[in-house]
Amino acid sequence: MGGSGYVGGELLRLLVCHPACELQTVTSQRYAGEPLYRAHPNLRGLSALRFQEPNIEAVVASSDLVFTALPHGESIKIVPDLLQRGLKVVDLTADFRLKDPSAYKEYYGFEHQRPELLQKSVYGLPELHRAEIQGSQLIAVPGCMATAAILGLAPPVSDGFIDAGRIVVDVKIGSSGAGVNPTIASHHSEHSDGVRPYKVTGHRHIAEVEQELTGVGHGDFVKVAFTPHAVNMVRGILATAHAFTRGNPTERDVWKSYRARYGSEPFIRMVSDKKGLYGLPNPKVTVGTNFCDIGFEVDTHIQRLVTFTALDNLTKGAAGQAVQCFNIMTGVNEQTGLNAPGLHP
């Protein structure tokens, strides 16, 4: 539901050839009656489906699981009905990500109308919540920049290597992160050849990052300063985090921390190579993939740990992660439909 935006299109790209999924209904008010390729030209010839008007009865009658890729604040109007009728839901909005209902007023500007569902939803980050995802009826897929920040910082926070109350996250993100509807800020003349800081304090993804990192922090309440920058690329995120160390961990200590948590994770790649152009994570090589590349440097000059996390904001940052959760929920191999390598150059 909500299949005509960039995230909806990425979901369709991944699901249209997924061997364990049969697409039944794709909704869009704007494109109702039109073929999928009208909004997503890359899907031409891959599906005979047409967009339909949103219709809960039709969805319930034909589906076992629903992906909702609607604007923030819209999923909450339909998801409770879907759940009550026995369907599973993978929601790509922010409507069920936060456990504290009051945080919605602070970060999204609305009172949450179904706070009881916040305790039933599972934050859809498999690297932290795989077992819970497996048995859940409602998955709240994380925000793209939040995914990058959390995955990059979870191991050193969990192992107590850094001061949890003083973390700075600097994010560079491509233009697709702003969604399909154009604004003056996304106009080519304004966006191209520049780097634009925006929402430099109080960004809504702070709530997710602090919630999830506090959850792995063994009693430490995590505080994050978070500033994104719009840069001249279409897809991709590079999150650079600056944290100040406790106990002077060595590079070997930090490596062990990441390997302990992510050593068997299929979509986490550690990148720290002393040779070559891509010695640290670069979002260019993650485009179109569900991989999250993580690297770090230990700065002994000022007792600082610098982490770098690169991913595709539409794939691992949204639709790919949703499909990864879908695979876990339905009992198929977690990597099904997601193993394509990125492009180079």
**What count of other Cβ atoms lies within 10 Å of the Cβ of residue 29?**
11
Give the chain's domains with CATH numbers: 6-120 (3.40.50.720), 145-313 (3.30.360.10)
Return d(Cα 175, Cα 228) in angstroms, integer. Answer: 12
The DSSP symbol for 71 reads: P
Q: Residue 273 pLDDT more than 90? A: no
> What CA dihedral angle connects 47, 49, 51 and 52, to 10 degrees?
-160
Return d(Cα 179, Cα 314) in angstroms, integer. Answer: 10
Tokens for 18, please give them.
């997924």
Instruction: Judge whether 144 counts as a catalytic residue.
Output: yes
246 in Cβ contact with 295 (< 8 Å):
no
The DSSP symbol for 315 reads: I
Tokens for 340, please give them.
């394509």
Instruction: Give residue 39's identity as a one-letter amino acid code.
Output: A
- Give the mean pLDDT of 203-231: 96
* Element spanning 253, H or E: helix 251-262
Return d(Cα 122, Cα 120) in angstroms, integer. Answer: 7
Per-residue pLDDT of 113-166, as tens digits, reads 999 999 999 999 999 999 999 999 999 999 999 999 999 999 999 999 999 999
Lowest model confidence (mean pLDDT) among 90-104, 181-195, 198-212, 231-245: 181-195
Cα distances from 19 to residues 67, 213, 323, in angstroms, run 17, 34, 12
- Pick the catalytic residue from 17, 21, 144, 325: 144
Instruction: Return the pLDDT at 219.
Output: 86
- Give the mean pLDDT of 301-325: 98
**What count of other Cβ atoms lies within 10 Å of the Cβ of residue 199?**
12
pLDDT band, residue 108 (cuts 50/70/90): very high
Instruction: Return the pLDDT at 277.
Output: 86
Closest CA to 245 of 253, 237, 234: 253
Return d(Cα 226, Cα 298) in angstroms, integer. Answer: 20
Instruction: Return the pLDDT at 229.
Output: 98
pLDDT band, residue 56 (cuts 50/70/90): very high
Chain centre to alpha carbon of residue 147: 5
pTM, two decimal places: 0.97
Per-residue pLDDT of 165-207, as tens digits, reads 999 999 999 999 999 998 999 899 998 999 999 999 999 999 9
Q: Residue 222 pLDDT more than 90? A: yes
Q: Annotate 20-31 with DSSP letters as a single string.
A: T-----EE-STT
Return d(Cα 286, Cα 282) in angstroms, integer. Answer: 8
Instruction: Return the pLDDT at 36.
Output: 98
Q: Residue 220 pLDDT more than 90? A: no
Mean predicted lDDT score pLDDT of the chain: 96
Q: Residue 214 pLDDT more than 90? A: yes
Q: Residue 319 pLDDT more than 90? A: yes
